[in-house]
Amino acid sequence: MSAISIGQAAVLGVVEGVTEFLPVSSTGHLKITEGLMNIPVDDTSVVGFTAVIQVGAIAAVLLYFFKDIVRIVSAWGRGLVDKNERHHHDYKFAWWVVYATIPIVVVGLAAKKLVEGPLGSLWVVAASLIVGSGVMWAADQMGRHKRGEEDTTFKDAMLVGSAQILALLFPGFSRSGATMSTALVLDLDRVAATRLSFFLGIPALTGAGLYELKDAVGAGVGAVPLAVGTAVSFVVAYASIAWLLKFVAKHSFNAFVIYRVVIGVTLLGLLATGVLNA
């Protein structure tokens, strides 16, 4: 039997789609949901499953930002064959995304066992949710929100890309939360910070999903649950992306900060009372 049923896969797909790009930690929410459904969060196939269904959310990003991606990739292609095209921001940005992905790849491969082991504990998730909330609140207060997407630099991309390591090592911190917070500290406005987080997440999350595919299928998750979870995450993530970009254009991140603290404290309570197993 599959380690995850079709119904459980659908539920996890919804959770992944809603939370992947919101700064609330998709990994944290997935682990909590798995715990509530008595799915072993540290099982190799389960860890692989959660990484694979992220591809559905990434596919939603690719579709939502299709025109932007085509523009950037086209500029990159022109720049490869014509040095006169290399001064365009889109050409440079394409390379920045590549360079900014290297740190998370290196750390991800080096710390794989640690991430899937001790750092995968729900105690770590709870603490990371709360600590990450403080970081996000401080970043939103410190940032001057004066720079747009066209003002991003290589330094911005590298710092924001490297911030993904925090979410890798401390599930619950949130990849989106870490990257957006870093971008805000660098004085990018909220929309630019959010869009940069999206673009930098594409190669990192896609690579993680493809890398974990063999573990998810080979270790006990059926192809059908994988397909269902991925498809559901795609549909839900597309709606989540559209909502988030509209939200951050007019609101601060305070609502997410409060939500994260509530979830973190609630999780601590569930763990302390034995309702959930770490």
**pLDDT tens across 194-214, in order?**
999 999 988 888 887 777 666
**pLDDT tens across 232-262, in order?**
999 999 999 999 999 999 999 999 999 999 9
The label of the residue with tokens 């072993």 reads 40
Looking at the predicted structure, is the pLDDT value of residue 167 above 90?
no
Instruction: Taking the CA atoms of 54, 226, 222 and 214 in sequence, report the sign of the dihedral they define.
Output: negative
Rounded Cα distance, 198 and 66, in Å: 12
- What pLDDT was estimated at residue 250? 92
Give the burial class of 153: count Cβ atoms within 10 A of its Cβ; 0-12 exposed, 13-18 middle, 19 or more buried: middle
| 48-56 average pLDDT score | 83
Closest residue by Cα to residue 74 from 59, 52, 49, 93: 93
**pLDDT tens across 56-74, in order?**
988 999 999 999 999 999 9
The pTM of the full predicted model, rounded to 2 decimals, is 0.86
Two tokens at 219? 């270790």
- What pLDDT was estimated at residue 243? 96
Two tokens at 90? 């889109």
Confidence of residue 226 (pLDDT cuts 50, 70, 90): confident
Rounded Cα distance, 21 and 19, in Å: 6
Rounded Cα distance, 63 and 239, in Å: 11
The better pLDDT of the pair 221, 145 is held by 145
- What pLDDT was estimated at residue 209? 73
- What pLDDT was estimated at residue 216? 61
**pLDDT tens across 89-133, in order?**
999 999 999 999 999 999 988 887 787 677 778 898 899 999 999
